[in-house]
Amino acid sequence: MIGLQICKSYIPASSLRVSARKRSCSCILGVLVSALCFEVVLRPFVADSNHLGVRTVRNYFEGLSVGHFEADGLGEIGSRLTGNARLRGAREGMIVGDSHVVANAVRDEETMGSMVERLSRSAGQPLNVRQYGWHGANAPTFLASADSLIRARNPAWVAIILNSYNIGMNALVTSSDWRMDVAPDYSVRLIDERPHRHGPWQTLRRLAAHSVLALGLGRRLALFQIRLAQESYVEGTASQKHESRLDEQAARVPRASVLGLKRAFGGRLLIVYAPQLLGPGHYSLEPIETELQRLCAEQDVAFLSVRAALEQDRKDHLRLSRGFHNTAPGVGHFNAVGHRIVGEQIWRYLYTHFSPPIRT
């Protein structure tokens, strides 16, 4: 019988600690080097800078684009520039909405506001167009911002871009922006749920804004949050599992929104309905579009739906007005085609129904 003797070597605890520290340092160094590489590689695609009053935002997760904003203290990040020179003495129009109006996914000259400007100038009735948008915003945000927008700009007309998400349940329950309570008489109480602009969290956010890696991760997280909120809204609406009190309020949101917007913007108001399209299918007629059109007619508010124009362009040219080369087909914000169609429809409505197509 052959005995096997296993010899165990003795390693001092101090040597183990030194080895562990070396491994930790190597790991930390690897993370830092990787982060630095991402900072360098992402810089051409992700940026958020403010220079001489113009804020530059680079976007990569829906197409590749660079947007510029006049940091005038209005809207979420200012007025979206259009790529066209501002004309001295020309009337101003205004387009207000959610992230579709922020339009980070397209270039300045591809925005709906830029299209309205070019068409108006070609028609001999030149306009300067301001675009103010908020990511994930709903009707309460537009109502809460109305006074400051009107006082600062006094626009000849205001086109509010709405979809079912803006005037549904989410207008009551959002936890990151303005929301509303709607009474049985359709009066509205606006509630500010925006994060505080001061404190440790906001300080951390300002510091993180200097890192393109942190900025890119933050934007991706925000995109996921918005998408999850939209899917939750659609699923909740389909299953009708909301609390009865919220159900009753949600049914009042469209009328309360129309009444509130009319009071806020008066005769210069144009409500533009842009249907959602969560995939490559057709733009079907939504019940909320029919209801919104009826409410606007009842309240003598100008109303425009761009659904038919989007659908017709898809049939005629076999192309999608939403989505980009790096997204699923038809999913996401309006691309350059969608912005062009919406801009054309806004100008056509102004030219046809307003005489002249701008108001004093």
Lowest mean pLDDT among 20-24, 55-59, 215-219: 215-219
**Residue 10 vs residues 3, 4, 15, 20, 33: alpha-carbon distances, Å:** 22, 19, 11, 17, 35
C-alpha–C-alpha distance, residues 57 and 355, integer Å: 37
Lowest mean pLDDT among 206-215, 263-272, 280-289: 206-215
Specify the pLDDT at position 13.
66
| CATH fit for domain 51-353, picks 3.30.300.160, 3.40.50.720, 3.40.190.120, 3.40.50.1110 | 3.40.50.1110
Q: What is the pLDDT of residues 96-152, one digit of tens each?
A: 999 999 999 999 999 999 999 999 999 999 999 999 999 989 999 999 999 999 999
pTM, entire model: 0.81
Q: Which helix (H) or strand (E) holds 313?
A: helix 307-317
Position 279: which residue type?
G
